[in-house]
Every structure is written in C-alpha cells, then in structure tokens.
Amino acid sequence: MSVSFIHMGDTHFGKNFRFGNKSDVYGKDKRADIWLTFEKIIATAEKNRIDLLLVAGDLFDSQEADIDDILRVSRAFRSLTHTQVIIIGGNHDYYNERTLYALVQWPDNVVILKTGEMEAIWFPELNVQVYGMSWIRNTYREAPFNTGITLDPNITNILLLHGDAINQTSEYMPLDLSQWQDFDYIALGHVHQHQFLGENAAYCGSPEALDFGEEGDHGIIVGQFKDSGCEKTFIQTQHRHYVNAQLDVMSDMSEGQIKEKILNLDTEENRMNNYYRVQIGGYLDPTIDFEAIKRELERSFYYLEILDEGLEIDLDIDLLYAENKDNIVGTYIEKIRERDDTSVNRKAMIFGLSELLKEKVLL
Ligand SMILES: [Mn+2]
C-alpha cells in the first residue's frame, strides 16, 4: 500500500508585510497571494486524494492571528474529503489555551498537537504513526522531549517538528537529526527556504516567499511511502519571487541607457510579477535626474525598490571651477570651499552642483 503526503508550513497567515511607504497596497496583495497559494495546495491535496497533510508550524504568524484567518484555514481543511491534516504550532503560533485557534471548532479530519510534549498519532487505515511536538512557548534552547523513541519497524513512522536542524546553538529548538535515522520521513518547519537534509528529512520552506531574504523557489514537498522507501519531491507553489540585484551606472551612460540596464534585469512578464530590490552603485552624469528615472521605471515593474546610496555623482570639481569661475557654479564652489571640509559640506557640494548643472545654468 502506498501512502501519499504533502508537507507544508510557514505560511504565516496574518503577517503584516513591510514595503517601504507602500505597505498598505503591497501588504494586502501579499496576503492575498498567500491565500491563493494555500488554496492551490488544498486543491492539489483534494484532487490527488493525498492521505496526509503535514503542517510543520508557523501556519499563523502570531498567537493572536485574526479570527477570520483562522476560520478560513479551518474551512479549507474541512473541504478536504479524503486528506487528514496534522498541525503543530511553531515559534510564531505556539499553542496554549489562550490562542485564538484554540477557540475554533476544527473539523474531524484535523489533528492539532497541543501538549508541548512528543505525541504520537496513529492512523490505522494507513499503517502510519505520526510523531510530533507543538511549541507551547516561543523559545527552546533545547528540544524538550526524550530523544529516544522506539519505532515499530513494521509501520511507516513520520516525525513532524518545528525547529533548527542546521544551527545547534539556536534558541529555536536545535534538532540533531542523526538520532532519528530510522524515521521514514522527518517533516521540518522553521527554515523558510526548502531543503532536503540527508536521506529522510526536509524543510518544506514557506509556500510563498515572505521577504527579500527569501529569494529562490518556494513551495511544498509532496511524497509517497512505498515498499521501496519514501519518494519525495519539491513542488514550486509560489506566485511571486523576490529578486535582489546589483547594478553599476557609469558616468558616460545616458538616461536611456540607465533605464535600459535596469529593465534588462528581467523579462517584462517577470518584472510585472515579482518583487525587485536593486542596489545601484557607480557614477552618475550630474545632468541626469535619477529620481525621474526611478519614478518612470516604477511603471515597468510590479514592485521596484531602488537603493542608490552607493551611487555617486560624477563631478570633477577642480575642472568645473576652472571652467565656471565667473558664473554661479564657480561662486557656489567658492562658497562651499570656504566651509570646513566635513562630510555634510562635501555632500552639499555634490548635490548643490548637480542641481545647478541640471538646471542648465551653465552657459
Ligand atoms: Mn516561520
């Protein structure tokens, strides 16, 4: 008999997202994206009659997650006609009787682990035992359960945990996987980038990336226990990617060339879908209005954040002075040079001059 499963986690429902001064619009979009992705996962489970949906913690972003969010998750699980759902709480949604999701009447096909101790849930019709532990507080310097679990080799044994299997000094429950080699599968939550650890363990990651620190593909792990072992694959589910990029501008580049360089970061289809954070360095022709370029490019991206602190205005002040002794530019240079040589005054020199040059008073 083969038993199928989906391993997901770290959806962080209810999270407030920050997008500079545009958090309202993009935050709302982001939350909608996560719902769509989640509902797609539920539809996949239903369509494929997946036996087990393992939810590895941080389903909600906080214990106080919005009651509407909790009811919506509960309705989605209730819609599953075949799949059984096992949920553990993570550091963001650790369980206690005051959490809002303790108040919700969950459907019969959902088991939420609550005790803060290692528990075992037996699924006789599947011949599967799921071991797992829900967080009941927000830090664990060490795993609080007895690590010696005696497994029945004649059944399929799954371990469901939220914690840190990568850093053994973590305060987010360091996990030493080497002691659990006999499990058929260890479904982990907490690290948002999916990864397989050894033969029998994996982080599913967050189904939708949550910030610029989470580049790359995001999704779920889908698997099957067969007589020959556990077959598992990562399936991408995310709607939008986060992309970090770095570009250098050169002082001989025209406005058009700069725009083109930034547009060339990606295809139009990708640009109108993903989040981009672009660090700009190098030197800018002082007659170019970079703020105007930024405003114009916004229309060519779904979300574009340009960080240009590293971009310097290309000015040869000695040469400018030699050429402009008798006009306002020369006078400006003289005025600033009379001041102390501080970083504020150096900035005033560059910005003042670039404004004067942009206004084309240079005749
Ligand atoms: Mn998380």
Residue 99: CATH number of its domain: 3.60.21.10
pLDDT at 22: 87
Q: CB of 266 within 8 A of CB of 274?
A: yes
pLDDT value at 363 more than 50: no
Given a cut of 50, whether residue 353 has pLDDT beyond it is yes
Looking at the chain, the whole-number percentage of residues with pLDDT higher than 70 is 98
**For residues 156 and 147, what is the distance between their CA atoms, to the nearest angstrom?**
18
What is the residue-averaged pLDDT of the chain?
A: 93
pLDDT tens readout for residues 99-112: 888 889 999 999 99
Q: What is the mean pLDDT of residues 300-320?
A: 92
Residue at a domain's end among 199, 215, 236: 236
Angle, vertex CA 119, rays to CA 113 and CA 123, nearest 5: 85
Q: How far apart are CA 16 and CA 168, in angstroms?
A: 29
Between 317 and 77, residue with greater pLDDT: 77
Where in the sequence is the domain holding 347, given as residue range(s)? 242-358
Mean pLDDT, residues 192-213: 97
For residue 3, the CA-to-ligand 1 centroid distance in Å is: 27
**46-60, 84-98, 291-305, 323-337: which has the minimum mean pLDDT?**
323-337
> Is 79 within a domain?
yes
Cα(363) to ligand 1 centroid in Å equals: 60
Task: Give CA–CA dist 35/162, Å, rounded.
Answer: 22
Highest mean pLDDT among 135-144, 203-212, 307-316, 342-351: 203-212
What's the pLDDT tens digit per position in 111-128? 999 999 999 999 999 999
Interval 22-57: pLDDT, tens: 888 999 999 999 999 999 999 999 999 999 999 999
Note whether 335 and 252 are same-domain residues. yes
Band (pLDDT 50/70/90 cuts) for residue 97 is confident
- 360 pLDDT more than 60: no
Residue 121 CA, ligand 1 centroid: distance in Å? 24
Instruction: Choose between 287 and 81: higher pLDDT.
Output: 81
Q: In terms of domains, do 74 and 181 share one?
A: yes
Nearest to 94 by CA among 65, 129, 131: 65
Distance from Cα 222 to the centre of ligand 1, integer Å = 19
Residues 218 and 164 in one domain: yes
CA of 72 to the centre of ligand 1 (A): 19
Whole-number Å distance, alpha carbon 192 to ligand 1 midpoint, is: 6
Q: How far is the CA of 93 from the centre of ligand 1 (A)?
A: 9
pLDDT at residue 253 is higher than 80: yes
14 and 53 co-located in one domain? yes
Radius of gyration of the chain (CA): 28
End-to-end CA distance of the chain: 86
Task: State in Å: Cα 10 to ligand 1 middle.
Answer: 4
**For residue 13, how far is its CA from the centre of ligand 1 (angstroms)?**
10
Q: Compute the distance from residue 58 Cα to the ligand 1 centre, in Å.
A: 5
Q: Which residue has the higher pLDDT, 197 or 320?
A: 197
pLDDT at 362 > cutoff 70? no
* Amino acid 196: pLDDT: 98
Same domain, 192 and 73: yes
3-state secondary structure of 338: helix
232 and 291 co-located in one domain: no
pLDDT score of 272 more than 60: yes
Ligand 1 centroid to 88 CA: how many Å?
A: 12
Find tokens 């011949």 and name the residue: 127
By CB neighbour count within 10 A (0-12 exposed, 13-18 middle, 19+ buried), where does 233 fall? exposed
Instruction: Kindly state the percentage of the chain with pLDDT values over 90.
Output: 79
Mean pLDDT over 48-72 rounds to 94
- Decide if 352 is inside a domain: yes
- At residue 147, the pLDDT reads 66
Tell me the per-residue pLDDT of 135-144, one tens digit each, with 9 for 90 and over.
Answer: 999 999 998 8
Residue 107 CA, distance from chain mean position: 29
Looking at the domain assignment, is residue 38 inside a domain?
yes
Band of the pLDDT at 88, cuts 50, 70, 90? very high
Measure 145 CA to ligand 1 centroid, in angstroms: 21
Please report, as a single letter, which amino acid is at residue 170: S
In this predicted structure, what is the pLDDT of residue 175?
94
- Measured in whole angstroms, the distance separating CA 283 from the mean position of its chain's CA atoms is 32
> Is 363 part of a structural domain of the chain?
no
Q: Is 204 in the same domain as 248? A: no
- Do 232 and 288 lie in one domain? The reply is no
Of 175, 204, 236, which residue is a domain's last? 236
Same domain, 131 and 66: yes
CA of 174 to the centre of ligand 1 (A): 15
Q: Is residue 261 part of a domain?
A: yes
Average pLDDT over every residue of 341-354: 84
Do 231 and 247 belong together in one domain? Answer: no
Residue 38 has phi, psi (to 5 degrees) of: -60, -45
Q: How far is the CA of 161 from the centre of ligand 1 (A)?
A: 12
pLDDT at position 250 over 90: yes
Among 236, 254, 274, give the residue marking a domain's end: 236
Q: How far does the centroid of ligand 1 lie from the alpha carbon of residue 69, in Å?
A: 17
pLDDT confidence of residue 227: 86
Total number of domains constituting the chain: 2
